[in-house]
């Protein structure tokens, strides 16, 4: 099955999981991990323990909040032992929703999911002012 | 083909754009909401909210009824979203082919009775709903395709 592991500094990952439940409803195979200042066990150790419970055929996505962050750096360290992981950074809701809901994430489909998530960062003030009566939707 | 007729006062939002559009493989969304159809800013906000590659129309109830013969000719999967029970009942009385309605969400308000996690109906909304039920329309409460579905038998 598909597994999606969200990891962040503080509560972003848990918040994203909460938002996911609100938008979609119950979902299986999605997990959230937070880095805290007082952590005794590192995020990557906690994720590693979870990975150990997965089946070898599982497709695993790990999504961190930012590239270059300590959470992401930690996760990069998992890749050598866990080639089944696809590691993505830049956690936002369209990315999480795409990873959870899109049936096909093979080959170019994963790239499209990432593109869609990236395009979702938008200057809405500008887009609203430019919106026209448009694009062949007319009936 | 109309795949889904939904009541949702939030119109286009995450549950619709990310779950129902995919579930129905929708190519067009028709929003029937008098307040949005007559307000350019609201219309622009809906355009901004719609998923890429999905066509959008925003109609008053009256416009929607007039457009239906054309809508029926479209070779597309279509989702219709109604902002209120008033528009929904007005439409269904004029267009009796609607046999199934998804109650997604209505706002909570003074004097409303709760029928599901996100369905609150005041006296007017109950009356509109009763008219639909009296016509034998199958009304079910369901927020997203992954959430449970509950039939609304009486109000």
What are the tens digits of pLDDT across the range B8-28? 999 999 889 989 999 999 999
Contact B44 A116 (CB under 8 A): no
ipTM of the complex: 0.75
Size of interface A-B (CB pairs under 8 A): 52
pTM for the model stands at 0.86
Q: Where residue B58 sits, what CATH number does that domain have?
A: 3.40.35.10
- Provide the number of structural domains found in chain B: 1
**Where do the structural domains in chain A lie, given as residue ranges?**
2-130
Nearest CA in chain A to B145: A24
Nearest residue, CB atoms, A101 vs list B18, B44, B55: B18
What are the tens digits of pLDDT across the range A3-32? 999 999 999 999 999 999 999 999 999 999
For residues A20 and A63, what is the distance between their CA atoms, to the nearest angstrom? 14
Domain containing B141 equals 2-152
Top-tier CATH class for A2-130:
alpha beta
A101: alpha, beta or left, given left = phi > 0 and alpha = psi -120 to 50?
alpha
For residues B135 and B92, what is the distance between their CA atoms, to the nearest angstrom? 9
């Amino acid at each position: 099955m598909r597994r999606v592991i969200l990891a962040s500094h503080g509560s972003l990952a848990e918040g994203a999981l909460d938002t996911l439940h609100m938008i979609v409803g119950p979902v299986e195979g999605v997990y959230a991990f937070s880095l805290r200042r007082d952590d005794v066990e590192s995020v990557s150790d906690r994720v590693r323990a979870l990975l150990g419970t997965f089946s070898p055929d599982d497709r695993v996505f790990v999504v961190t909040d930012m590239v270059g962050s300590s959470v992401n750096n930690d996760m990069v360290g998992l890749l050598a032992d866990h080639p089944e992981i696809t590691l993505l950074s830049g956690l936002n809701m369209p990315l999480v929703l795409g990873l959870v809901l899109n049936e096909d994430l093979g080959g170019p489909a994963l790239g499209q999911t990432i593109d869609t998530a990236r395009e979702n960062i938008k200057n809405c003030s500008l887009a609203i002012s430019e919106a026209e009566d448009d694009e062949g939707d007319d009936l | 083909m109309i795949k889904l007729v939904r009541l949702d006062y939030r119109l286009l939002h995450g549950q619709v754009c990310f779950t129902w559009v995919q579930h129905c493989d929708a190519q067009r969304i028709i929003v029937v909401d008098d307040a949005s159809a007559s307000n350019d800013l609201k219309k622009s906000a809906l355009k901004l909210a719609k998923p890429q590659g999905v066509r959008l129309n925003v109609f008053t109830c009256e416009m929607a009824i007039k457009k239906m013969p054309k809508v029926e000719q479209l070779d597309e999967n279509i989702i219709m979203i109604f902002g209120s029970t008033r528009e929904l009942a007005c439409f269904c009385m004029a267009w009796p082919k609607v046999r199934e309605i998804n109650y997604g969400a209505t706002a909570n308000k003074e004097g409303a009775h709760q029928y599901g996690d996100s369905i609150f109906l005041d006296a007017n909304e109950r009356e509109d709903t009763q008219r639909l039920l009296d016509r034998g329309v199958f009304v079910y409460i369901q927020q997203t395709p992954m959430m449970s579905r509950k039939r609304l038998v009486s109000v």
